[in-house]
Structure 1
Amino acid sequence: MTPKEEQPEMGTNPHKSDEENWLKRLSKSNDFVHEHTSLKKEGPFWLSYYRTLISTDILHQDVLPFLKEQFLLDELKSIIPVQEIIYTKDPKEIIENLMRGFLALQKHEHDEECLLINIANSKFRDVNITTMEASAIGPQVGFIEELDTNINLIRKRLPVPELLVIEMKVGELSKTNVAVIYMDGIADSENVNTVVQRINDVQYDHIQDSSYLSLMIEDNTNSLFPQSISTERVDRVAAGLTEGKIIIAVDGSPNLVLVPITLFEAFIAMEDYSYSWIIGNFFRLLRYAAMYLSTIVSPMYVAIMTYHYELIPAPLLETLVGSRASVPFPPFIEAFLLEIMIEMVKEAGIRLPFKIGQSLGVVGGIVIGQAVVEAGLTSNVLLILVGLGTLASYTAPIYKFSNTLRFIKFPVIILSQWFGLFGVFLGHQFTLYHLLRLTSLGRPYLSMYPIRSTSFQDLWFRLPFSKQQENPSTLRPEKKRKATGNRENPEPANDFYE
């Protein structure tokens, strides 16, 4: 008796290779469905889909009622009321779209050609207010994790055909949808080509967030300073596009990336444009001062208390010596431990559930700080200085830049312990040297040399809207001017009427 030949698996064609037989390959997963819509064995139609990716409502309302036996696939393509339908026989294209929530519709089970119908389940959270870049006044709309919705929000702000979108897929396994968005006729074509080329050169299995991509395409991946702005504000993205910036949007991420940027843009809050230009400048200059204060307060304390007592006025020196009388540690250890403790409180507040973390951040900081002072482990003067420096670091509107400010003071504290005030100077000079060499998409990051007139219009300072005539020259925009005309201020009314 000859052995019985092995029967092929149900729903597979034994004459196809494993690569071509997409049905056999996908059927290994339990959430893959391959079903017959007819009671007759040879009758049409055959449906293949991932039940975890599709919308069953669309399937039962917009697809199944139109599957009549007399219709061919070409005819069904024009009958089924679904926007995206693809006719294909390419196994690679079939697999790729089934993984995106499409339905594969075959006339007979072993047909090569099929219709791919988009019935993906696209339930995402609703558009909501921004959480990381909150503002008291002005627009509150923030992006969400769905790419098409984010592009829709941008197009509502800029309803012009010059707004162009280049779509691509990144990630060997994740196949993440990425969109490069720019304004044709304003954005420098060299910048656009550079962004597209760098994204195409990315070789990584999984792109989970826009931050992954921004770090991979930066000019200097070892720098502490972010060379792009990650934002969830629609108004910031729209403003950047009109100036000539390039936007990178990643499916699954609520944060969009703006490139190229300069250092000072990290201190520009969109709320500034809702106030008078004088008040807006006051807040912007306040953030500049806070940036410098956050990096120098603790190092200066260590340097002066270790080497330079003579710089302190006598009345203040008496207070400082009295506050440190019971502290057993040198100023370096005292400052370093307190800075680490503040960072731990901050990290714990972020990682814990929202309500618990909020309570821990306020109560924990006060209780622990008071306990440390009473135990004589640190002076109350240093506690005030460290709290002031930490508070100053959070004034930066861009959260990633706040992290940079908080980290950069640690090496400066070490230098101040070794060299005193010269160490503080050395740390800041090294930082300045690094910033002068740093670029964003090949453009100067510090943007201080050569000095450009556009930097005085809306970068270092903010002039009235009537004086903001040109787009930032650091972006090398194709459209130089952004104002088409100026309204003259009316003459003040006098007390005599004709």
Structure 2
Amino acid sequence: MRKNPKSSSLFPIKIEELQQLMQNKFENNPDLTFSIYEQPKRRIAVFYIGYMVEAEMVENYLLRPLLNSSEKWSNKSIRNEIPLGNSDKKERLEEILQKILIGEVFIYVEGEDSAVSYLLAKKEKRNLAQAETESLVLGPKVAFTESIVTNMNIVRWSIRSTDLVLEKLIIGERFPREVRLIYVNSIANDTDVNTMRQRLQELEVDQIEDSSVLMQYIEDSSTTIFPQFYGTELPDRFTYAIDKGKIGVMVENSPTAILAPTSFFSFFESTEDLYMRWNAGSFLRYLRFIAIIISILLTPAYVAATTFHYELIPTQELITIGESRSVVPFPPIIETLLLEFIIELLREAGARLPTKIGQTIGIVGGIVIGTAAVQAGITSNFLIILVALSALASFTIPNYLMSTSIRIIRFPMIILAGVLGMIGIMFGICFLIIHLLKLKSLGRPYLSPIYPFRWEDLNKALFRLPNAYQNKRFASYKPKDLIRYRKRKAVQKKDIDE
């Protein structure tokens, strides 16, 4: 009686039994190619998924040398005769099923204790192109693709060090997918590496559709609206973060790479801050912090002021707002929610439509609907300006996930402002701060370096200093090597004639 193939070796086995077993596993799928060839007193089976492999390579580099060989077929002779260096041997059925689905061709010599496999997968991938979700003016424009091999090559070219680790993991019980855990061994904190590895290995799911889905599975808190890991399709941002001691994760068939641990302030950084002068980079970062305050509080402040706190509005401006709202039949909270909802509809429609049509819908739709709403007495001119300014402020956030979170936060803040006025706004702000203080990213505080406070990390999170003062890595992440370069050497300047 043959042993259970899932717990021990499947071989040796009769070729007819192997053929029937493979056909049953693939539900008699016609895409399964199973060919039997004979020699005197020796038979072999060659099987693979037709559309998953390079047919020309199978014919020219595998079958032709194999069938023209005068030697007696065996695993040893096959690996000697076929001039392909990516051969392997498989004994268990579950290994064969996993590998055949990624484009491996199997050769089984009847009577042998294993099957020889060759990776001849057909690579379907798009060419390197510019990033779509993270726009840059300065710096490299290339973005990751859906090919994990291409992405790893990009990272290898950027980080040319033997310390770079690209640890391979397989995630997905029903539909396995390759995942790479990436870090620099001499820099990354061992606790962070082990934590990420444990979360990935203990994940029990049928499949991982994308790295964005994987982030949701392994985040510290699944109930918060804030992203705790950073997803990027920019190789330069990825490699810069790896150099700082962060952990990277890549998923097969996903153009987005994951970075962890991540602080709240990391979502407002851009790689352009590095390519600009330090003072210009600091200015842009401050601009983004101001933009998030405007995006969250501007329209709620309008609702609170026009509903409860008229004394906060200058007299002349109060007259203008009163005249503008004299024909509006709705209270400020309904008016604001309605206009914010229209803006979100336009934004979502522009994102889902083809690029040229989406841009037209965003511009023309905003102008037409805004003008028509004012003329129809649905809203006031003043509120349209505030809502547009709030929407523009949210666009300055470099990360799409954080931008979406900020947009959603505005709605409960508007409701609180319409019900409780400024007290409601302060209640919402306090709730957000307390919530952020409780969040963690891979076990690290989400608001670092503000909480817990670390003075030496402020110049990396809130602003930039000249390069001579940026010689240390982010101490809050506790990297093995805190020093990036020697400060004294960085400030030395010598002319050629000295």
- The answer to whether TM tops 0.5 is yes
Assess if the C-alpha contact under 8 Å between 1:304 and 1:420 holds in 2.
Answer: yes
Assess if the C-alpha contact under 8 Å between 1:127 and 1:141 holds in 2.
Answer: yes
SS at match of 1:487: helix
Task: Name the residue aligned to 1:424.
Answer: 425
Stretch of structure 1 that moved more, 86-95 or 474-483: 86-95
Assess if the C-alpha contact under 8 Å between 2:467 and 2:490 holds in 1.
Answer: no
Assess if the C-alpha contact under 8 Å between 1:82 and 1:118 holds in 2.
Answer: no
Task: Name the residue aligned to 1:184.
Answer: 185
Over the residues paired in the alignment, what is the CA RMSD in angstroms?
2.1
Task: Name the residue aligned to 1:7.
Answer: none
Question: 1:368 offset after TM fit, Å?
Answer: 1.2
Note the alpha carbon deviations across 1:18-50, whole angstroms, 9 max, x for none.
Answer: 8xx335423621211112356x79764422111
Of 7, 11, 16 in structure 2, the residue corresponding to residue 12 of structure 1 is 16
Assess if the C-alpha contact under 8 Å between 2:54 and 2:120 holds in 1.
Answer: yes
Note the alpha carbon deviations across 1:162-213, whole angstroms, 9 max, x for none.
Answer: 1012111111222011111011121110000000111112111120100111
Note the alpha carbon deviations across 1:127-184, whole angstroms, 9 max, x for none.
Answer: 2121111111111121111112111111111110110121111112220111110111
Stretch of structure 1 that moved more, 419-428 or 350-359: 350-359
Task: Name stretches of at least 5 consecutive residues in structure 1 with no aligned partner.
Answer: 1-9, 493-498
Task: Name the residue aligned to 1:78.
Answer: 80
Of 479, 483, 487 in structure 1, the residue corresponding to residue 490 of structure 2 is 487
Identical pairs, percent: 35
Residues 285 and 466 of structure 1: is their aligned pair in 2 closer, same or farther, counting only changes over 3 Å?
same
Higher helix share: 2
Stretch of structure 1 that moved more, 269-278 or 25-34: 25-34
Aligned-partner Cα distance in 1 for 2:285–2:85: 48
Aligned-partner Cα distance in 1 for 2:382–2:93: 70
1:56 aligns with 2:58: no
**TM-score, normalised to structure 1's length?**
0.92
Question: 1:83 offset after TM fit, Å?
Answer: 3.1
Task: Name the residue aligned to 2:267.
Answer: 266
Assess if the C-alpha contact under 8 Å between 1:168 and 1:177 holds in 2.
Answer: yes
Task: Name the residue aligned to 1:235.
Answer: 236
Assess if the C-alpha contact under 8 Å between 1:307 and 1:420 holds in 2.
Answer: yes
1:378 is matched by which residue type in structure 2? T
Note the alpha carbon deviations across 1:80-121, whole angstroms, 9 max, x for none.
Answer: 23332112332222111111111111234x866321111111
Residues 78 and 202 of structure 1: is their aligned pair in 2 closer, same or farther, counting only changes over 3 Å?
same
SS at match of 2:281: helix
**TM-score, normalised to structure 2's length?**
0.92
Aligned-partner Cα distance in 1 for 2:16–2:355: 51
Task: Name the residue aligned to 1:141.
Answer: 142
Aligned-partner Cα distance in 2 for 1:93–1:488: 56
- Equivalenced residue count is 478
Assess if the C-alpha contact under 8 Å between 1:470 and 1:480 holds in 2.
Answer: yes
2:101 is matched by which residue type in structure 1? M
SS at match of 1:103: strand
Note the alpha carbon deviations across 1:308-354, whole angstroms, 9 max, x for none.
Answer: 11111111011101111111100000000111111111111122223
1:310 aligns with 2:314: no
Task: Name the residue aligned to 2:452.
Answer: 450
Question: 1:73 offset after TM fit, Å?
Answer: 2.3
SS at match of 1:186: coil
Aligned-partner Cα distance in 2 for 1:257–1:480: 22
Task: Name stretches of at least 5 consecutive residues in structure 2 with no aligned partner.
Answer: 1-13
Equivalent residue runs for 1:33-432 within 5 Å: 33-37=33-37, 44-67=43-66, 68-70=69-71, 71-108=73-110, 113-432=114-433
SS at match of 1:471: coil
Aligned-partner Cα distance in 1 for 2:365–2:31: 47
Note the alpha carbon deviations across 1:430-460, whole angstroms, 9 max, x for none.
Answer: 0011111111111111111332133233211
Assess if the C-alpha contact under 8 Å between 1:12 and 1:23 holds in 2.
Answer: no
Assess if the C-alpha contact under 8 Å between 1:137 and 1:271 holds in 2.
Answer: yes
1:133 is matched by which residue type in structure 2? E
Stretch of structure 1 that moved more, 91-100 or 278-287: 91-100
Aligned-partner Cα distance in 2 for 1:46–1:238: 45
Task: Name the residue aligned to 2:4.
Answer: none
Task: Name the residue aligned to 1:6.
Answer: none
Question: 1:490 offset after TM fit, Å?
Answer: 4.6
Aligned-partner Cα distance in 2 for 1:376–1:387: 18
Structure 1 stretches of 4+ moved >6 Å: 40-43
Question: 1:76 offset after TM fit, Å?
Answer: 1.8
